Amino acid sequence: MRFRHAVVTGGAGFLGSHVCTALLDQGAAVTAVDDLSTAQRDNVAHLTDRPGFTLLHANVCEPFEAGEPADLLLHLASPASPADYLRMPLHTLDTGSLGTRNALALARRDGARFVLASTSEVYGDPRQHPQPESYWGNVNPVGPRSVYDEAKRFSEALTVAEAAVHGTDTAIVRLFNTYGPRMRGYDGRAVPTFIRQALAGEPLTVTGDGRQTRSLTYVDDTVRGILAMAGSELRGPVNLGNPVEITMLELARTVLRLTGSDSTVRLVERPTDDPGVRCPDITLARGKLLWEPEVPAEEGLARTIAWYRQAVPA
């Protein structure tokens, strides 16, 4: 399916900027909506002169207009790193609730396909491993991470209710640990933190004993999955992630090797409610979207490190 006009909330963010680029490359006009609370204009600086691209500085928690009617609305807006959502807990909850309602209202009015970018965080600290879409999760609703976890869980429920009540064409994808160029050096997530520390000659701060696992998905693969979902008739939720797990200690050592850094690894206190394992069951994505990740972790990390070497992340 080819789209004429796509609205991307959070479009100036790390992931959103890559999504906007891919849509423009496919011939769509793109309106990126962003309040720039965690994003940077530099992320979309390479797009500002491209025909069909518009950056709208707006808070999705307030009703917004996006120019010409859209036939695709991708709702990516939300603080995503612990450093951001712990600093802005109410804004994070508002974005998942009010922001999702406003984005859905625009999609309903325009008759657009709506895709919610949810997260593997809805599974919490999982007791089922790997995590299929049918797993209900193990989330602490009042813990420090709950502002993000519950905002996304509520936005999923809202998206499903919107489709049931108004017939809006909605879909949900659950993203697993996307990484790549344009992540901020002080984002707080493991990949940019380790790379920044390694290049600066600082100790790599691994939390706990480093045996907790994550599913690292290179940004190009995540974008392909989101657009495949947008062009399908699936409602989801559908997991988009890499089924190859990596421990945090393995990740740190890989970053050290790829950067050639002499930095050491330092174990630090593990955050409250930090998941012990994280790995998607992508049977549904493989079977229905014909999607699976193509970029191995080492290659994706090498590309990301190369970007950090020539950029000055905020």
Read off the pLDDT of residues 43-86 as tens digits, 9 standing for 90 and up: 999 999 999 999 999 999 999 999 999 999 999 999 999 999 99
Per the CB < 8 A criterion, the answer to whether 135 and 101 are in contact is no
The answer to whether the beta carbons of residues 75 and 103 sit under 8 Å apart is yes
Place of tokens 């859905």: 104
For 216-238, write each residue's pLDDT tens digit.
Answer: 999 999 999 999 999 999 999 99
Tell me the CATH architecture of domain 5-178+217-241+277-294.
3-Layer(aba) Sandwich (3.40)
The C-alpha atoms of residue 305 and residue 314 are separated, in whole angstroms, by 15
Whether cis (ω within 30° of 0) applies to the bond prior to 243 is no
Long-range contacts (CB closer than 8 Å, 24 or more residues apart) made by 196-199: 196/308, 196/313, 197/263, 198/255, 198/256, 198/259, 198/261, 198/263, 199/259, 199/261, 199/305, 199/308, 199/309
- Residue identified by tokens 């495949």 is 228
Residue 140 has pLDDT above 90, yes or no: yes
CA 43 to chain centre: 15
Range with the lowest mean pLDDT among 87-91, 201-205, 231-235, 309-313? 309-313
Q: What is the pLDDT of residues 172-195, one digit of tens each?
A: 999 999 999 999 989 889 999 999
| Dihedral angle sign, alpha carbons of residues 127, 132, 135, 139 | positive
User: Which pLDDT belongs to residue 311?
Assistant: 84
d(CA 280, CA 312): 32
Number of H helices, E strands in the chain: 10, 13
3-state secondary structure at position 48: coil
- Active-site amino acid positions: 148
pTM over 0.85: yes
In contact, 205 and 266? CB cutoff 8 Å: yes
